[in-house]
Structure 1
């Protein structure tokens, strides 16, 4: 399996663990380093393994946690670092998301997750030369 395929699979495992509410599986995907970080939509930056995993534990414990679907994942691999750019659909609302991975002892582990709202889909953006006209 190529590194790109392995990264896409690791990314899918992250979303599967979230969907299942499986904190142990989700925690296993993160690097065991104090330099990991996370930015949830609307939250300040979270740094450090205890704080990052604590944020995920709290989200997973919430019975009203949203359903999240990962769409259009694209992996970029450079040596022992990789990132997946994707769209998270959170109950239908699109979020631009980046998941950074690092190869540690032969395994790809998350070192950063960031998700933020998308103002508009590109297909819905106004053409600056012709206000009111959509660009396609």
Structure 2
């Protein structure tokens, strides 16, 4: 389970660092490349390793700062596949504005990993925004 937890943490660390090489290393390849799938919040489904990595290049080129605080992390391993679910509590900033605009949000995520060549590699990431609702009085 520790190796799976490390792979999941590396996915978020690569995103926070804006490091496309690290992001590329976490995604499955080889026989799994065509099945790699990603659904960014508000985006259509992206299919295939190349398309998914292109999306990350675009996102990273346009994200000056992002930080994740993961909560409710749950992991299940079933043979050579594993599912990790969590809430991504996100802080992001825009350095291009005078105030350095800072925003926050919450996304519920499902990360599906495959164990291949001795390591866990990401096969699917699906993020869905959680809309803030007015608190009941």
TM-score exceeds 0.5: yes
Equivalent position of 1:111 in the other structure: 123
Moved more, 89-98 or 31-40: 89-98
Aligned residues: 121
Structure 2 unaligned blocks of 5 or more: 92-103
- In the aligned structure 1, how far is the partner of 2:117 from the partner of 2:26? 13
For residues 66-99 of structure 1, what are the alpha-carbon distances to aligned partners after superposition, in whole Å with 9 as ceiling and x for unaligned?
Answer: 4333223211110100011011112231111011
Does the 8 A contact of 2:16 with 2:66 survive in 1?
Answer: no
Indicate whether 1:16 and 2:28 are aligned: no
SS of corresponding position for 1:17: helix
Equivalent position of 2:87 in the other structure: 87
Does the 8 A contact of 2:36 with 2:49 survive in 1?
Answer: yes
Equivalent position of 2:94 in the other structure: none
Does the 8 A contact of 1:37 with 1:48 survive in 2?
Answer: yes
Equivalent position of 1:129 in the other structure: none
**Larger Rg, first or second structure (1 or 2):** 1
Structure 1 unaligned blocks of 5 or more: 125-131
TM-score, with structure 2 as normaliser: 0.80
- In the aligned structure 2, how far is the partner of 1:65 from the partner of 1:49? 24
Q: CA deviation at 1:7?
A: 0.9
- In the aligned structure 2, how far is the partner of 1:78 from the partner of 1:68? 26
Does the 8 A contact of 1:8 with 1:73 survive in 2?
Answer: no
Structure 1 runs of 4+ with >4 Å offset: none
Equivalent position of 2:112 in the other structure: 100
